[in-house]
A and B are shown apart, each in its own frame.
Chain A
């Protein structure tokens, strides 16, 4: 940075609401990022992101190379999937996935061949010389999704139509226990900033704001040091006090810029795009090294583990195997994500997926299960801590009584499910669960509404069609009846004008036919007549053969039929030959 440039604006705005739970980060941030050997098999669900599931491109038995595309994105918001190592596709079937539902989802299972052999790679060390289209094309094939937790396909985010002036880089990592972003900033700061420069070029932004909570001094120092070598639009690192949930997208934008993203809108409507530091590093790997998203940094923490630490894990690593490697054979509780927003892992057979930033294995003393909910006492603590300025108790009451209109009125969809309200609730009401339930019900209702609307339209269209058909039939019937009546009347009256008309029409028709004949016989028609006659004869012969075998008493009739067809064929052939000679002469 130029020494004469004015001091960068490092003003921050305080988070609205928020809580300060125990950070519990020191357990896992002491060691560098670790690596594990290749697992015996990898389970790769085709839907690890928000949007449409990817379409498998491989078949069972196929050999795949490391980094090879195995499922391609389908639709505008979707992400590709790559083989994390070389090996053989052993199955494509529904498998347990890390999802609160515990439902299975289609996955591609790869058995590594231990060679870890890369596909052909084309690194772009001088990516600056590439056009935006080229960069974006590579990104959309990279399978990169937002690694902060939501899993929104990054290519879709970067190919936005709106004018973007600010790129917000999220290094907040406000959730307790998780240190994946902390470690990646400490160890791969240069990579992150290169990724930021690539995204800044794609979005053509004027400034980059990097937000880091002040409980990560090493990460801040590493990022500051790397900023010396950074080339791109003006970038500022802003640090701010540690408070949960500063790392929410809308919250971070407020802290860094003092601007609020309006209800129901996106940061892009303010001209901003927010990405996680891990995503930025993945973008650099993808563009510069041609290294698609096949691994991610995941924090493994909790007192059940002897040594909490961050590991770079291949996507698809089975969690059971992973824990066995760390000496854990039985875990009562596995939480995917942190203690505030994480979800209990329904099945430990699930694999590590792209959005899996933390696996928390707490002991009962460390993170006791909440007691059963007591009635709400209207203390209002939740109102004070809500970072989205909602009224959590009102939402709770509406969700409990399934008052969907009330929920919408109270702006349920602005809730970021941070769990701050549930954290402070003295009645330990599982508030977030109620909100998730409410959101699900509203979405379901909307879907049903749309479906019944469609059914109504289809039903009405069908009724209209049926009515039209019967009206047409009726009209035809009437016309026929009228014609018949007219003919009858004409006959009765002895008036031959109607008959004359018919005779005239017939004459005109034969005249027209003669005219076409004069122009030359229709060779095509005659030829097809011959073909048809041949077919008919063949069929008749078949029928005759069958009849002779099965019911000889009827064979005579079939024989006559066959002879007739043969005669017809002879006639048609004669006609055709005649016509051919005529045209020749």
Chain B
């Protein structure tokens, strides 16, 4: 009986000590913010378009961390959903059509002779990619534009177009060769490099 008491009290003492150490560590080494939010935010495309229903990518990342669906980001498309599914270990869902379709990368372009200089688009741009001042012509810094569409609605004269990103020689890269599962099904190829 006495031995059991010793064992229980020894274990109890150890439990107290470790409890105290762990309790101290959880306060002392508490990570700032939720690290999963950072990881989710890094996967999101940072267009800050708000199509997900949240005011920017980070709020959506926070929402996902709190259990929101991962398929509300049209600019990211399937690849973002896949990456999020891998990160959070959940089933990848098809893109939710309510929030928009996956579109090719666009960039805003102001038809400058029609711009009246109202600065409304400047206020709407989430990444400060529009340059201009009151009663002066505005222009888009194409390199910084995320193609979020947010400047289109506020424009009173509808002088902003979304145009596909110009793929020059610098951006072009080789496409994946077509896979033919059965060689006899294949069409003769048009070009080849030995």
Q: Which residues of A contact B (CB under 8 A)?
A: 47, 97, 99-101, 103, 105, 333, 335, 339-344, 367, 369-374, 399-400, 402, 419, 422-423, 430, 432-434, 436-437, 439-441, 443-444, 447-448, 451-456, 458-463
Q: Once the chains bind, are A437 and B173 in contact (CB under 8 Å)?
A: yes
Within 8 A of A (CB), among B175-194: 175-177, 179-180, 183, 186, 188-189, 191-194
B117 is an interface residue with CB less than 8 A from chain A: no
Partner of B169, one of A103, A342, A423: A103
B47 and A436: CB pair below 8 A?
A: no
Q: A373-B180, A433-B177, A456-B58 are in contact. List 8 more A-B contacts (CB 8 A).
A: A339-B193, A339-B194, A370-B189, A373-B179, A433-B174, A455-B144, A456-B41, A460-B58
Q: How far is the CA of A439 from the CA of B46 in the complex (A)?
A: 24
**A419 CA to B48 CA in the complex, in Å?**
43
**B191 contact set on A, CB distance < 8 A:** 333, 344
**Within the complex, which residue of A103, A369, A453 is in contact with B172, where a contact is CB–CB below 8 Å?**
A103
Count A/B pairs, Cβ under 8 Å.
115
Give CA–CA (A441, B127) in the complex, Å.
26
Q: Is B146 an interface residue (CB 8 A)?
A: yes
B45 on interface, CB distance cutoff 8 Å:
yes
CA distance in complex: A430, B129 (Å): 42
Q: Shortest beta-carbon distance, B177 to chain A, in Å?
A: 5
Residues of A within 8 A of B48 (CB): 455, 459
A-B contact pairs, 29 of them (CB 8 A): A101-B172, A103-B167, A340-B194, A341-B193, A344-B191, A344-B192, A344-B193, A372-B186, A372-B189, A373-B183, A400-B179, A419-B193, A419-B194, A430-B193, A437-B177, A439-B174, A443-B173, A444-B173, A448-B45, A452-B46, A453-B46, A454-B144, A455-B127, A456-B57, A456-B58, A459-B57, A459-B126, A460-B58, A463-B56
Write the B32-69 contact mask toward A (1 if CB under 8 angstroms, else 0): 00000000010011111000000011100000000000
Q: Which of A341, A369, A454 is in CB contact (< 8 Å) with B192?
A: A369
Q: Which residue of A lies closest to B194 (CB)?
A: A339
B168 close to chain A: CB less than 8 A: yes
Cβ 8 A contact of B194, one of A97, A423, A443, A452: A423
Cβ of B189 and Cβ of A101 under 8 Å apart?
A: no
How far, in Å, is B108 (CB) from chain A's closest CB? 13
For the complex of A and B, the 8 pairs showing the least CB-CB separation, nearest first, are A440-B173, A372-B186, A452-B46, A436-B174, A458-B127, A101-B172, A455-B46, A339-B194
Given contacts A372-B186, A458-B129, A459-B56, contact A100 B174 (CB under 8 A): yes
Could you say which residues of chain A place their CB within 8 Å of the CB of B186?
A: 372-373
Chain A residues positioned under 8 Å from B173 (CB to CB):
436-437, 439-441, 443-444
Given contacts A452-B46, A456-B46, contact A437 B188 (CB under 8 A): no
The residue of chain B having its C-beta at the shortest distance from the C-beta of A370 within the complex is: B192
Q: Given contacts A101-B169, A344-B193, is CB(A434)–CB(B45) below 8 Å? A: no
Does the CB pair A343–B193 fall under 8 Å? Answer: yes
Per-position contact with A for B66-93: 1 when CB-CB < 8 Å, else 0? 0000000000000000000000000000
Tell me the bound Cα distance from A459 to B193 in angstroms. Answer: 45
Question: Are A459 and B46 interface neighbours, CB within 8 A?
Answer: yes
B169 & A459 in contact (Cβ 8 Å cutoff): no
CA distance A483 to B56 in the complex (A): 38
Instruction: Tell me the minimal C-beta distance from A557 to chain B in angstroms.
Output: 27
In chain B, residues 125-180, which have Cβ atoms closer than 8 Å to a Cβ of chain A? Answer: 126-129, 143-144, 146, 167-169, 171-177, 179-180
- Residue contact B168 to A103, C-beta cutoff 8 Å: yes
State the CA gap A97–B169 with chains docked (Å). Answer: 10
State in angstroms the CA–CA spacing of A559 and B180 once bound together.
87
Q: B56: nearest residue on chain A (CB-CB)?
A: A459
